[in-house]
Amino acid sequence: MAKALEKPWEFLDSYRGKDFDGEWPTVPEMFTITASRFPERPCFTDFEGPGGSKQTLTYSQVRDNVLALACWLKKNGVEKGDRIAVSGKNSPEWGTVFLAAMFTGAVVCPIDYALHEKEMENLLSTAKPKFFFVDEEKYSHFEAGNFEFKTCSLNPKFADTYVYNLKAESEIDSHANAEDDLAVILFTSGTTGNPKGVMLTHKNLVSDTYIAQTRMYLNEKDVFYALLPIHHAYTMQAVFIESLSVGAEIVYGKSMAVTRLMKELKEGQITMLLGVPLLFNKLLAGIMKGIKAKGPVVYGVIKVMLEMSYIIKKLTGKNPGKKLFKAVLEQANIYSLRIAICGGGPLASSVFKIYNEMGIDFVQGYGLTETSPIITLNPVDHFKIESVGQYFFPWMEMKIIDKAENGVGEVAVKGPMVFKGYYNMPEETSKVFTEDGFFKTGDLGKIDKEGYLVLCGRAKNMIVTDGGKNVYPEEIENAFQLETDIAQITVQGYVEDKASKAEKIEALIYPSDELFAKLGLKRDSDGNSEKVSCVINEIVAKINKTLQPYARISKVTILEKALEMTTTQKVKRTYNKK
């Protein structure tokens, strides 16, 4: 495994003053440079060809499509600073709109495609775009409505306004933006109230892209899998922009359905898989189920081999697992993987460890929409299993504020990737910055001597017990990640004694479909079955034994309906504490 470069962006010096003038190129300038370096390399790939076949566009083909759409937008009145909104399933068309808008000097406003039309309308009324590019399911609603923007299609079904059919003669200046100009507005909330839009500049995005590569080596032969929603900062940056910075290929995935996922992993020959804990837990559960089916003797032998593989990797830096478990990895269609990265939430250490044991360089990262988003990443050659990674010194600063005796406090950061502010919300912006200019993340953690961050949880989720102990729900939830009988677990505090106001710990649990099937029950009629409660309580009792006494769950509530989740598969903590 090649080590990350000390300054992966050094090659840009030969383009400075000719292809860009700032400290960092803008997104269009970065893409133009990459397309000139790797014109015939694969750029955008999907499986939307005849019969679900694979189809690929090269960098030069994507550049032609981007410039054609940019010319059309400019001819139709788009000027620097205007907003262009885009919402749809992951696709080459989505990526084309994203880039073309920036080539005109416009600001891109990605909208979550999972939202209802009325929720989208609320965000669009704040963004005030000139054009809205949307996928087929919601196209008719917006095309027929009385809106100030013009609706265009991401799908060829509506040919008249389809992205690739919009062409016009016009002049395009790839230097229309400066690095400090606004590039995107990402809405993190406000679908029904006052929308909160995170403003990220070209410098924020491009600096974060290259600085992240100081912890990980990437090259033009890599194949990234865009499986998570691309409107989200994590996929937009760590897959889409990161790929374009090095000339790598992007394979667009549209669904986590197992059959489609397996097909795209295999035929796409993915080398870089970025996902959230739910995805990696799902993959691992399938792998371990197959191993256990071979019987206790085989399972025992493989467990020993996994442990040996991990010890060898930690001691020598070499990874024997890829050869030892080739058959297992091939069956799961992940043998081609070079690196897997988990973000969007902490992953259980046991899961992290097993992937590394099997020969996959598996690391964790951390970030927020407001930080473009990556601010820590575990180096592949020096990872720490308990950490979400090392922050990018000397190119950024990180410190812990309001630190407790155990070193835990709120994580605060400063650097070129930190956002410009919340759109039209100066007061909200000022609240999240310290007097010396550090952004307060709202996350609790501690930093070790080597700059590795260990996260404990969100400050607003912290539970204070009657013994004055601070308990972080996320740490308890992580202990259940390999329990396949539980589909969702959300830990919260509840007040048993109103006089003391001290909190005890409750687990809201939604049992999995697999558990009902295993017990021969139906969820609709047997949701409150004693058999289900018995299994869930046994699991909680087992996990409780591994927790500190003050962090143990004292109340279990079994849910009849699943809690609402975000597009990155995290439970929305919108419930009220009891």
Report the alpha-carbon distance of residue 92 to residue 64 in Å, rounded.
Answer: 13
In this prediction, residue 192 carries a pLDDT of 64
Portions of the chain given CATH number 3.40.50.12780: 10-268, 276-459
Range in 65-74, 344-353, 437-446 the model is least confident about: 344-353
Question: Of 59-73, 277-291, 446-460, which has the strongest mean pLDDT?
Answer: 59-73
Burial readout 551-563 (b: 16 or more C-beta within 10 A, e: otherwise): bbbeebebeeeeb
Q: Give the alpha-carbon dihedral of 219, 223, 225, 231, to 10 degrees.
A: 50
Q: Is 223 exposed, middle or buried (0-12, 13-18, 19+ CB in 10 A)?
A: buried
- Which CATH number is correct for 276-459, 3.40.50.20, 3.20.20.70, 3.40.50.12780, 3.40.50.1100? 3.40.50.12780
Q: Is 550 exposed, middle or buried (0-12, 13-18, 19+ CB in 10 A)?
A: middle
Q: Where are the alpha helices (DSSP H) in 326-375?
A: 326-331, 349-357
The pair of structure tokens assigned to 110 is 């990605």
**pLDDT by residue (tens digit) across 17-72?**
999 999 999 999 999 999 999 999 999 999 999 999 999 999 999 999 999 999 99
CB 311 within 8 A of CB 237: no
Report the alpha-carbon distance of residue 187 to residue 120 in Å, rounded.
Answer: 11
Report the percentage of the chain scoring pLDDT > 90. 66
E strand or H helix at 286: helix 277-292
**pLDDT by residue (tens digit) across 130-188?**
999 999 999 999 999 999 999 999 999 999 999 999 999 888 988 989 999 999 999 98
- The arithmetic mean of pLDDT across residues 542-571, rounded, is 85
- Mean residue pLDDT of the chain comes to 90
Q: Is 259 exposed, middle or buried (0-12, 13-18, 19+ CB in 10 A)?
A: exposed
Report the alpha-carbon distance of residue 275 to residue 229 in Å, rounded.
Answer: 10
Report the alpha-carbon distance of residue 138 to residue 142 in Å, rounded.
Answer: 7
CB 270 within 8 A of CB 239: no
- The arithmetic mean of pLDDT across residues 220-226, rounded, is 97
- The arithmetic mean of pLDDT across residues 492-504, rounded, is 71
Query: Three-class SS string for 78-114?
Result: CCCCCEEEEECCCCHHHHHHHHHHHHCCCEEEECCCC
In this prediction, residue 65 carries a pLDDT of 98
Is residue 573 predicted with pLDDT exceeding 80?
A: no
In this prediction, residue 556 carries a pLDDT of 93
The pair of structure tokens assigned to 337 is 């993987």
Omega within 30 of 0 (cis) for the link into 426: no
Is residue 94 predicted with pLDDT exceeding 60?
A: yes
CB 313 within 8 A of CB 380: no
**pLDDT by residue (tens digit) across 306-321?**
999 988 887 887 889 9
CB 450 within 8 A of CB 387: no
Report the alpha-carbon distance of residue 533 to residue 543 in Å, rounded.
Answer: 15
Range in 98-107, 191-200, 215-224, 531-540 the model is least confident about: 191-200
Q: Give the alpha-carbon dihedral of 419, 129, 173, 37, to 10 degrees.
A: 60
Three-state DSSP class for residue 446: strand
Sign of the dihedral defined by the CA atoms of residues 345, 351, 352, 358, in that order: negative
Omega within 30 of 0 (cis) for the link into 394: yes
Q: Is 148 exposed, middle or buried (0-12, 13-18, 19+ CB in 10 A)?
A: exposed
Model confidence, pTM: 0.84
The CATH architecture of the domain made up of 10-268 is 3-Layer(aba) Sandwich (3.40)
In this prediction, residue 574 carries a pLDDT of 58
Question: Measuring CA to CA, which residue among 136, 130, 135, 141 is closest to residue 108?
Answer: 130
Sign of the dihedral defined by the CA atoms of residues 28, 29, 34, 35, in that order: positive
The pair of structure tokens assigned to 321 is 């697992």
Portions of the chain given CATH number 3.30.300.30: 462-558
- 374: which residues sit within 8 A by CB, 6+ positions away? 208, 212, 237, 238, 343, 365, 366, 367, 417
The pair of structure tokens assigned to 221 is 């032969």
In this prediction, residue 257 carries a pLDDT of 80
The pair of structure tokens assigned to 123 is 């965000």
Phi and psi angles of residue 362, each rounded to the nearest 5 degrees, phi first: -110, 125
CATH top-level class of 462-558: alpha beta
